[in-house]
Amino acid sequence: MSTQMFGAPIPRNVDPRLLKGEGAYVDDIPLTGALHAAFLRSPFARARIVSIDVSAALAYPGVAAVYTCDNIGSLDMEMPLLVPHPCLIGARTQRPLARDEVFYVGQTIAMVVAVDRYTAEDAAALIDVDYEPLDVTVELEAAAAEGAHLVHPDVAGNIAADFTQTSGDPDAAFAKAEHFTKVSVRIERSTAAPMECRAVAARYDGATGELTVWDSTQGPIPIRGGLAAIFDIDEDKVRVIAPDVGGGFGQKVMLFYPDEVLVPNAAMELGAPVKYIEDRPENFLGSNQERTQVHELELAANKDGEVLGVRDTFLHDTGAFIPYGIAVAQVASTSIAGPYRIPNIWIKFQAIYTPTVPVSPYRGCGRPQACFAIERAMDKLADELGMDRIALRRKNMIRKDDFPYLREGLLFADGLAVRHDSGDYEGAIDMLEAHMDIAGFRAEQAAARKENRYLGFGLACYVEGTGLGPYEGAHIRIHPITGKVYVNTGLTTQGQGHETIFAQIVADQLGVAVTDVIVTEGDTLAYDWGAATYASRAAVVSGNAVYKTAVVVREQVLETASGMLEVAPIDLELENGEVRLKGFPERKVTLAEVATISNPLRYTFSESSKSAAQFASSAKHDRPPLDEGAHPGIEATDYYSPPCATWAYGGHAAIVEVDPELCTVKFLRYVCLHDCGRVINPMIVEGQIRGGLAQGIGGALYERIEYDEDGNPRNANFMDFLMPYATEVPEVEILHMETPSPLNPLGVKGVGEGGTIAVGACVASAIEDALQPFGIERLHEVPLTSNVLHAALDRAKAGGAP
Amino acid sequence: MSKKIRSAAPKAATDSTAEISLTINGEAITREVSTRRLLSDFLRHELGLTGTHVGCEHGVCGCCTVIIDGWAGRSCLTLAVQADGADIRTVESLAADDGTLHAVQQAFHECHALQCGFCTPGFLMSLVNYFERTPSPDLSEDGIRSVLAGNLCRCTGYQNIVAAVRRAAELLNVEGAKS
């Protein structure tokens, strides 16, 4: 191939449409006569519902229906537990509309459907609910302590899950170690905050029995399966479309949110399309969040810095329900040893119910917490042993010849063993160290301190198990008339650029322009086998499925073209949408001609279609037009199912300046080194990293979902929940390493979440270094807001530090 | 499910209405609108101009930014009736009729300055307005970032948007833009 598309930084196919305002997000889908839904949500964290009076709402002009738990039939149920696990104790999931009691502020109690959203909100305000408020314990450690008020009266201790995993012999390691380092770390709750809130629209055709649902989801296929099961209708009668989706970051892989079943139900009952477009406060009150964990981690090491073992026990806040099982905590627990050999691991967690918004994965999914715990401990260990932070890390890294490195006894979130498949972790830290010029920085830091400027250097390393199964598939067809290539996948996009990277993979196999490969995602009518977009798996799982399918299609093209040109397939090459005889480029057929002739026609309808007609020169007259076992057209379907996660990794380094008066943090440099295996499109990969990093910076310095002691959210809006603007996110230098994954044909690893994972640990490390002259304590929590830094500096002053 | 008799559909809301006349993307229109209808909802749901997006409905995220009488403004904080007599431009007005992208759109495409695309129309309208109103734009890193600071993006980390502003300045032949 003269111009390989794999690896090229080409602009995206999807851009022009989005740039011109021609995107079609759920609320942009024109639905004539659509009714609009609004919810009444609980104002109490815990309360008994004594009575609900909807009469005034129902009588309000413009209202079509008011739903409570009493008139939704079989939907008045606990929603599915998505990812069951044996360690779950009393797993609780939410009901679409509360029955008898509520468990967090924002829980849905009633849904009003009216002519427009304005009217629906008016009517929702007229619903009269009589509550009997109950006492709550909101804060994670308090909720896990004895005497805490229970979220679910029958779940003792608020313990939703209790799980311990062991690798190696941690007791023996701790018995023989020479040095022990203990840290307690805390990571606060944040939220994905996609720019497009969640949205659902549904239309039911009573004549055909077909239900069409547009859902701003990451997983239309499981949504369809679930809706068909819940409503007891044939799967083929349900079509779920995730059209353009304005960001997801995990929040939209949760299913079912109440609206996802109630809106289709209303559309079927009312005989009109129904829409629910979540607004921003509702996204804070009703869409899942993640991050709060408190870790107690201890390292057992030798005096030379070799870490023999780790023991970590942590509390994981799962909110009021646990629909996604232990996924977040399990990923955190299996990532706890980071990129280090640490052969002996004991890790225990408890998932704790709190009367707050439920928790499910948000970009990073437990890894930022694990990375924060282990990396802060490694910094402390280095300081205690008087070792260089980088040298300590390098000493403990899994070595090149250790791969594949199995952590026997640890099961990852896909139910498969934790097995670091490949990498060059030492090479990575060498490259990062060389790039940062640490010695030069230390001189600069010393000089700055003389001018009362406080600079600090921080670093953190991470690993990420990416590309989880079970499988994905792809269907590829070459259009007979145009020769364009159509690719259908079961994935969805929320802006990652799959449509372009999949097109690059196909373009290389079929010799067509990337813009002539049209990728469809997120429509169960186009393709309905697969899981969803999550766990940094699109390029790995779908990418390889697309590749394998394209290889099959290429063989079909060569086979058919060899018959047309009367030469052996091996003598042919594919380029510019043509199949040519090598060395004789004028002997060629176009892909369109190949696709056309592969489909014997009874009726012709255009000039080009005549070549496939019954009396065309190529037609066979002595046997069936289709050979036994052959299929018409050039098309194929194939699948890729990964043997286990493939592990990406990297390191972040930052140089910050901290203003000890204003307690603000300014980035002077931020460097991200990463290895996601072979890179399909470096421009898109860098975009993923920069975006993930910005979310990491939000979590490191600003973003914290705050609840008061009664469980009321205190910052459920963009004014008070501080997401970074362009003024808060630094320019990021990106260093690439490429260790091909041995687990899949393309050699790729996932990159969707990697940018986020190490930021908190790296930033804390840098700020701590900057503020050393003040003798502050170690910074073992994020976000490190100005208030947190101010308090730390105050405590240092009170302690009589210099 | 068994066939049920469909309940009578409600006709319309009982909001008071007013007639407004305004110019949208160069076209004069007159419509009867609810007096509490937001300009963003009016553009999107009554005129079908769904390129203007709504991200927060409290004026913080900037997704809904349109140009109102020559100034970038939040259509989610503006009532449709307040736009009576106004000249309004939305993202749909930027590309040429033949589909050629506006310089700012082209720069976003070249620099990979968008991912999900939901916040993008707001950034585009803010920047188009900035370049129109500012003969000598501040193209320093801090200058560009402060121009962008009225719009939130959750996907890109902003760096490519900063690059797109520089590239747009080049395409627009702004003085001081490197070429």
DSSP A465-493: EE---S-EEEEEEE-TTT--EEEEES---
pLDDT classification of B4: cutoffs 50, 70, 90: low
pLDDT classification of B176: cutoffs 50, 70, 90: confident
Distance CA A83, CA A532 (A): 14
Name the β-bridge partners of A351: A161, A316
DSSP, residue by residue, A197-237: --EEEEEEETTTTEEEEEE--S-HHHHHHHHHHHHT--GGG
pLDDT classification of A674: cutoffs 50, 70, 90: very high
β B87-89/B17-24 pair status = parallel
Do B109 and B148 fall within a single domain? yes
pLDDT tens for each residue of A389-430: 999 999 999 999 999 999 999 999 989 999 999 999 999 999
pLDDT tens for each residue of A84-125: 999 999 899 999 999 999 999 999 999 999 999 999 999 999
Between helix B141-148 and helix B159-171 the angle, nearest 10°, is 100
CB B58 to CB A718 under 8 A?
yes
Do B66 and B122 fall within a single domain? no
Q: Which of residues 68-107 of B touch A (CB under 8 A)?
A: 90-92, 94-95, 99, 101, 105
Q: Does the structure show a pLDDT above 70 at B45? A: yes
Let me know if residue B23 belongs to a domain. Answer: yes
Domain count, chain B: 2
Name the β-bridge partners of A48: A101, A132
CB B13 to CB A119 under 8 A?
yes
Name the β-bridge partners of B89: B67
Closest CA to A673 of A685, A681, A656, A657: A685
Q: Does the structure show a pLDDT above 70 at A224? A: yes
Smallest Cα distance from A697 to chain B, Å: 10
Let me know if residue B11 belongs to a domain. Answer: no
Let me know if residue B117 belongs to a domain. Answer: yes
Q: Does the structure show a pLDDT above 50 at A801? A: no
A247: nearest CB among B149, B154, B158: B154
Dihedral, A61, A65, A69, A75 alpha carbons, nearest 10: -160
Any idea which residue has 């790296």 for tokens? A762
> Of B71, B91, B111, at which residue does a domain stop?
B91
Name the β-bridge partners of A205: A210
Let me know if residue B138 belongs to a domain. Answer: yes
Let me know if residue B112 belongs to a domain. Answer: yes
Closest CA to B52 of B88, B85, B27: B88
Distance CA A288, CA A197 (A): 12
Q: Which residues contact A38 (CB under 8 A, 6 or more apart)?
A: A111, A112, A114, A117, A120, A121, A123, A124, A276
Distance CA A284, CA A783 (A): 18
Distance CA A536, CA A753 (A): 6
> Of B40, B61, B91, at which residue does a domain stop?
B91
Q: What percent of chain A has pLDDT over 90?
A: 94
Q: Which domain CATH number covers B132?
A: 1.10.150.120
pLDDT tens for each residue of A501-519: 999 999 999 999 999 999 9
Do B58 and B114 fall within a single domain? no
Let me know if residue B34 belongs to a domain. Answer: yes
Let me know if residue B98 belongs to a domain. Answer: no
Q: Which domain CATH number covers B30?
A: 3.10.20.30
Distance CA B117, CA A313 (A): 41
B57: nearest CB among A15, A196, A279: A279
Do B66 and B117 fall within a single domain? no
Least confident of A85-89, B8-12, B136-140: B8-12
Task: Please tell me the predicted confidence (pLDDT) of residue A620.
Answer: 77
Which residues in chain A touch residue B91, judged by CB atoms under 8 angstroms apart? 20-21
Do B114 and B157 fall within a single domain? yes
Do B143 and B115 fall within a single domain? yes
pLDDT tens for each residue of A554-589: 999 999 999 999 999 999 999 999 999 999 999 999
Distance CA A438, CA A769 (A): 13
Distance CA A362, CA A371 (A): 15
Q: Over the range A494-511, which residues count as b (16 or more CB within 10 Å of their CB) and which as e? A: bbbbbbbbbbbbbbbbbb
Do B63 and B37 fall within a single domain? yes
Let me know if residue B140 belongs to a domain. Answer: yes
Domains delineated in chain A: 31-134+192-286 (3.90.1170.50), 293-468+643-798 (3.30.365.10), 469-640 (3.30.365.10)
> Of B30, B61, B91, at which residue does a domain stop?
B91
Task: Please tell me the predicted confidence (pLDDT) of residue B1.
Answer: 44
Do B167 and B121 fall within a single domain? yes
Q: What letter represents residue A46's amino acid?
A: R
Task: Please tell me the predicted confidence (pLDDT) of residue B13.
Answer: 75
Q: What is the DSSP letter of A79?
A: P
Q: What is the DSSP letter of A384?
A: H
Do B109 and B161 fall within a single domain? yes
Smallest Cα distance from B85 to chain A, Å: 24
Contacts 24+ apart (CB under 8 A), A668-671: A668/A455, A669/A436, A669/A730, A669/A733, A670/A730, A670/A731, A670/A732, A670/A733, A671/A432, A671/A435, A671/A436, A671/A732, A671/A733, A671/A734, A671/A735
Beta strands in A515-600 (DSSP E): 517-520, 572-575, 578-581, 584-590
Domain assignment of residue B126, given as a range: 103-171
Task: Please tell me the predicted confidence (pLDDT) of residue B32.
Answer: 96
CB B145 to CB A727 under 8 A?
yes
Do B59 and B81 fall within a single domain? yes
Between helix A220-231 and helix A258-270 the angle, nearest 10°, is 50
Backbone torsions φ then ψ of A6, nearest 5 degrees: -60, 120
Distance CA A42, CA A475 (A): 45
pLDDT tens for each residue of A637-673: 999 999 999 999 999 999 999 999 999 999 999 999 9
Please compute Rg for chain B using Cα positions. 19
Between helix A425-436 and helix A389-396 the angle, nearest 10°, is 160
Give the count of Cβ contacts less than 8 A between chain A and B.
218
Mean pLDDT of chain A: 96
Task: Please tell me the predicted confidence (pLDDT) of residue B6.
Answer: 61
Q: What is the DSSP letter of B35?
A: T
Q: Which of residues 44-73 of B touch A (CB under 8 A)?
A: 44, 48-58, 60-61, 63
Question: Does the predicted TM-score (pTM) go above 0.90?
Answer: yes
Q: Which residues contact B11 (CB under 8 A, 6 or more apart)?
A: A62, A115
Do B81 and B28 fall within a single domain? yes
Do B25 and B51 fall within a single domain? yes
Any idea which residue has 């990021």 for tokens? A732
Q: Does the structure show a pLDDT above 80 at B5? A: no
Pair of tokens at residue A628: 């036994």
Q: Does the structure show a pLDDT above 60 at B2? A: no
Task: Please tell me the predicted confidence (pLDDT) of residue A168.
Answer: 98
Contact by Cβ (8 Å): A296, A182? yes
